[in-house]
């Protein structure tokens, strides 16, 4: 399997950011780490190996990249407004700098996919619902999709933009993104076992909004033995990727 390390200077963040690409051809899938994770976690926790045949066959390539969660979502002592402004800069780094850089590297002409687990699922869904012109597939595993559940007692305009639940709820039916959503593959999954309680709440919220808006999505609630942990995410990632690639 071809593996390429990369670095890109982000004007939005004023720093150098790292990423890694697995594979050399096929549909790009951007993989967002879990909370406070690094770009190498997707491989270290077996998520790359779980779909290695798809990579080696040239059907997909995976781009895993760093977040700045420690400075934003995990920085509980920091000013919430400043944290959200920094998160928004990271969002623009990914969409305006990393994405075009990587897509030029790959030479892929279509839209990309995006995936993540836990906090990474929130990020993946947020990128997808804000930029369906960039992404046509999202596989979000065990996420929360309302940031008000993560930063209690604070909500501002930046959080609103980064809340799929809130922004979708108020999106007009004639918004051009609506048609892009309907042309996309939306997969949201959560277990019902240990440590999934908050994620079930978040998933049901998003499920309700998507249903109200008539946006087709596969919302899958796995069993009561399915915990918030990597062994299950490896199974889910493989399971949903297989079905995504069949379509």
SS3 189: strand
Taking the chain (247 residues) in runs of 10, the rounded mean pLDDT of each run is: 96 98 98 95 98 98 98 94 98 99 96 98 99 99 93 91 97 97 98 97 97 98 98 98 89
Q: Tell me the HSE value of 241 on the side-chain side, using a 13 A CA sphere.
A: 27
pLDDT one-digit tens code per residue, 117-141: 999 999 999 999 999 999 999 999 9
The dihedral region occupied by 58, where left means phi > 0, alpha psi between -120 and 50, and beta the remainder, is left
Q: List C-alpha distances in Å: 229 to 46, 71, 162, 194, 242.
A: 12, 24, 25, 9, 20
Instruction: Look at the pTM and tell me if it is higher than 0.85.
Output: yes
CA distance 28 to 139: 13
Report the CATH number that the domain containing residue 170 is assigned in CATH: 3.40.50.1820
Which residues pair with residue 185 across a beta bridge? 137
Backbone CA torsion sign across 120, 3, 245, 17: positive
Which DSSP string do the residues of 103-164 spell out, in sequence order? HHHHT--SPEEEEEETHHHHHHHHHHHH-TTTEEEEEEES----GGGTSTT---HHHHHT-H
Report the number of distinct structural domains present in the chain: 1
Q: How many C-alpha atoms does 120 have within 13 Å on its Cβ side?
A: 26
Instruction: Kindly give, in sequence order, each residue whose CB lies less than 8 Å from that of residue 100, ignoring residues fewer than 6 positions away.
Output: none
Within 13 Å and on the Cβ side, how many CA atoms surround 231? 5
Q: How many whole angstroms separate alpha carbon 104 and alpha carbon 161?
A: 27
- pLDDT, residue 43, reads 97
Task: With CA atoms as reference, report the closest residue to 115 among 144, 134, 140, 143.
Answer: 140
pLDDT tens-digit map of 75-87: 999 999 999 999 9
Residue count of the chain, please give it: 247
Q: What is residue 152's predicted lDDT score, i.e. its pLDDT?
A: 79
> Which residues span the domain enclosing 144?
3-246
pLDDT of residue 58: 97
Say if residues 21 and 105 touch (Cβ distance below 8 Å): yes
| Angle, helices 119-130/80-92, rounded to nearest 10 degrees | 60
For tokens 């899938």, name the residue: 29
């Amino acid at each position: 399997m071809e593996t390429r390390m990369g670095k890109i200077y982000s004007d939005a963040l004023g720093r150098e950011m790292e990423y890694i690409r697995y594979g050399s051809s096929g549909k790009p899938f951007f993989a967002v780490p879990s909370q406070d994770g690094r770009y190498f976690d997707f491989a270290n926790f077996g998520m790359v190996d779980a779909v290695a045949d798809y990579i080696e066959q040239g059907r997909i390539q995976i781009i895993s990249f760093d977040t700045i969660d420690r400075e934003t979502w995990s920085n509980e002592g920091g000013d919430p407004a400043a944290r959200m402004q920094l998160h928004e800069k990271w969002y623009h780094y990914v969409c305006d700098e990393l994405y075009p850089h990587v897509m030029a590297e790959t030479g892929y002409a279509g839209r990309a996919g995006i995936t993540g687990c836990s906090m990474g699922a929130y990020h993946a869904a947020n990128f997808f619902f804000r930029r369906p012109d960039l992404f046509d597939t999202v596989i979000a595993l065990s996420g929360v999709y309302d940031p008000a559940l993560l930063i209690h007692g604070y909500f501002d305009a930046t959080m609103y933009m980064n809340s799929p639940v809130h922004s979708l709820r108020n999106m007009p039916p004639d918004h051009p993104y609506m048609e892009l959503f309907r042309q996309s593959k939306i997969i949201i999954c959560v277990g019902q076992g240990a440590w999934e309680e908050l994620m079930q709440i978040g998933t049901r919220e998003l499920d309700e909004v998507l249903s109200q808006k008539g946006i087709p999505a596969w919302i899958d609630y796995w069993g009561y033995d399915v915990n918030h942990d990597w062994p299950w995410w490896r199974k889910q990632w493989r399971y949903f990727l297989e079905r995504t690639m069949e379509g």
